[in-house]
Amino acid sequence: MSQEKHTSPPWKVSSNDAYKVVTSSVTIATCSAEPGNPIENAERIVAAVNACQDIPLVALEDGIVAEMVEALEGAAKIIKTARNYFPKSMQNSDRFSLENTNARIVSAIEKMKPSKVAWSQDQEQEAEDDQ
């Protein structure tokens, strides 16, 4: 696979012209006033490029971000179920590691899908109740 040829991040919104997406030396894009809010469009482009800088373009085009969110949701559900089967002999450090991983998964889901905040809070409350 050939190297991607896009301008290397970090990209930012220009401090002089909020409609422009720039690097330290070059203007990448100028967002027009239609459709939507050009400042928010520029901010979204910058956030997406910077956050995905290490993900290959083909993976992004194939929907890897949505797939990963789905996988994280599945993992959180499996961990919730697994709590019911933790043996009493399980070491506290292993339990802590699993719970810490679950908390990170739930936090990532919250950040990806604001509508899931209530779901994740329910998950956290159930985790506290199980302990």
Domain ranges of the chain: 12-55, 64-130
Task: Judge contact between 120 and 110, C-beta under 8 A.
Answer: yes
pLDDT > 70: what percent of the chain? 79
Q: Which backbone phi and psi does 78 adopt, to 5 degrees? A: -65, -40
Which DSSP string corresponds to 91-113?
-HHHHHHHHHHHHHHHHHHHHH-
- The pLDDT value recorded for residue 71 is 92
**Residue 63: which region, alpha, beta or left (left: phi > 0; alpha: psi -120 to 50)?**
left
Q: Which backbone phi and psi does 47 adopt, to 5 degrees? A: -60, -45
What pLDDT, in 10s, does the model give residues 60-111? 999 998 898 899 899 988 888 887 777 766 777 877 888 888 899 888 888 8
